Amino acid sequence: MNIDTNTRQILTELESCGFEAYMVGGCVRDGIMGRECHDIDITTNALPQQILEVFRDYRVIPTGIKHGTVTVLCGGSPFEITTYRIDGEYSDHRRPDRVEFTSDITADLARRDFTVNAIAMNKNGSIIDPFGGKNDIEAGVIRCVGEPEKRFSEDALRIMRALRFSSQLGFTIDEATAAAVHRMRDDLKNISRERIREELDKLICGKNCIDVLLGYSDIITAVIPEFQPCIGLDQRSPYHKYNVWEHIVRALASAPCEDILLRRALFFHDIGKPVCMTLDENGRGHFKKHDSVGAEMTRELMRELRYDNKSIADVSTLIANHSKKIRCRADVKKMMSNIGDELFFSLMVMKKCDNSAKNEFVLEENIFFDKLIAMGHEIVDNNECRNIRGLVIKGSDLAVLGFKGSEIGSMLHEILGHVIDGDLNNDKAEIMDYAEQRCSL
């Protein structure tokens, strides 16, 4: 594991003053795995006041000094330095009521969540691994440090973190830890929605999200009960080979891991299907309006999870339009007009991902979606009119003709519709002639 200059400097400063100093947690885990790590946590036997003294010439922020944590800025990077400690009871199931400082690093590592995160490494690359975390990394296993029930009762969010790490790292969850995850899932109700949201976002962007979401659907429904009717629901459709939940999961997993907007949209995209499902006389399933119903459900759920307004708007917009038919250049322009260029291209990829989790013959439609994407890029490159801003006239031009107030906006939208459909050229004289005729009616 390569140790950058700033990290080495922090560790050296502590050691030169006679203290022990180790990198700890995720940075060590990722280093062992050969993954890039941006957040370096340091643990030491120096007490908080001693840490402040060691770094008196640095910019220091006493972040959580009550719990033994001091943040030191070195080379522009923040480093959290925490004194070895033993945690007391977690009466709020989030933070320890009290902490007791210790000089024993093994006692400090014993309080951590999973073995893969309970490894310490000094600047020379020597590790302290009392709970077999390195072996679990090599075996690809997520295992609680000590008794799973105790770790999860201290902070139930660790249930979500177990799933998140399994999804991100591609690790399996060991049997005892998995049993506790399922058994203690209802404790997640004690966790703030913001913390749930943060773990959920990371989970759905993981490379192993299919196995996790399918294998631990009861954890997802514990935090979002609205998904419960999706689990195992047979769609009874020639287009579908999976039940609603498995379709959602597999569609989600086909989106790029780094595209959080698409992953969120696909996660929620069919949540409205159960309440909209009807069967025809042949027993075939239909889901009319599930897109608009799902968009409204998603808006409410994302508000509860404390997502920001733009994320809520973008995700719900994609869901509301994911079943809309787009057949021609005019339809492309209309969709761009309705939702904007950027969301249009996301919508097209979303449609392809949606199809990837259906029966094979549906995939042929993705060739057409690629053509629509190319068409969209042509429209953008040619700066073809697709919104009111692109019209050659303005509201002031219509006012000269006698249009007033809301009439101006209505006429601009009417003209835009004709330009997009090709019934009018985006030519000022032609548009003004049309508007004058409309004004005289």
**Do 120 and 9 share a structural domain?**
yes
What is the pTM assigned to this prediction? 0.92
Query: What are the pLDDT digits (tens) for 108-121?
Result: 999 999 999 999 99
**Do 34 and 73 share a structural domain?**
yes
Which DSSP symbol is given to 144?
B
**Do 125 and 184 share a structural domain?**
no
State how far the Cα of 87 lies from the Cα of 101, in Å rounded to an integer.
Answer: 9
Query: What are the pLDDT digits (tens) for 23-34?
Result: 999 999 999 999
**Do 408 and 356 share a structural domain?**
no
**Do 235 and 108 share a structural domain?**
no
The amino acid sitting at 348 is M
CATH number for the domain that contains residue 217: 1.10.110.30
**Do 413 and 277 share a structural domain?**
no
Q: Using alpha carbons, select from 259, 233, 251, 24 the residue that is nearest to residue 120.
A: 24
State how far the Cα of 338 lies from the Cα of 370, in Å rounded to an integer.
Answer: 20
**Do 393 and 273 share a structural domain?**
no
**Do 309 and 336 share a structural domain?**
yes
- Asked if pLDDT for residue 94 goes beyond 70, the answer is no
Total domains in the fold of the chain: 4
Domain that holds residue 173: 140-223
Reported confidence tier of residue 37, pLDDT bands at 50, 70, 90: confident
**Do 165 and 22 share a structural domain?**
no
CATH number for the domain that contains residue 123: 3.30.460.10
**Do 340 and 326 share a structural domain?**
yes
Strand partners, 43: 22, 82
Query: What are the pLDDT digits (tens) for 309-364?
Result: 999 999 999 999 999 999 999 999 999 999 999 999 999 999 999 999 999 999 99
**Do 233 and 378 share a structural domain?**
yes
State how far the Cα of 127 lies from the Cα of 121, in Å rounded to an integer.
Answer: 4
